[in-house]
Amino acid sequence: MRGIEKKEAGFTLVEVLAALLIFSFAIIGLTRSGTESVRAISVLQDKSYAGVVADNQLIRARIKPLQIGAETGEEAVNGKPYNWRVETSETESEGFYRLIVTVSEGDSDQVIITRTAFRTDKTL
């Protein structure tokens, strides 16, 4: 019999290993991307809640009788504590005052959000 040539279909071990390596890099990249997205959502949620706290304190400061100086406190939003500080100071214009609210997370001194507003010496 003459020499019979067999052609086998399939992949070599090197080709399979190369494909697995490329696949693993893709999975690692997608996992890292998903983790960073979850972290970014958490940060945005904290900023949104801190904004609610800041807005609440600005409203309270504008309806209370005027008091120059600083006031601090804590407010919980969705079960998470936030520390706030309201500073009331005079401006260059007589009868016009600046309100600065800073909000930080309950166990941290890092400021999450700062809001500034103005008011007159009359209460709302």
Sequence-distant (6+) residues with CB within 8 A of 67 are: 88
What does the alpha-carbon distance between residue 62 and residue 122 come to, in Å, rounded to a whole number? 9
CA distances from 67 to 27, 91, 103 (A): 58, 14, 19
Residue 49 has pLDDT above 70, yes or no: yes
CATH class held by domain 13-120? alpha beta
Tell me the one-letter amino acid at 72.
T
Domain extents in the chain = 13-120
- 36-40, 57-61, 94-98, 120-124: range with lowest mean pLDDT: 120-124
Residue 2 has pLDDT above 70, yes or no: no
Note the pLDDT of residue 91: 93
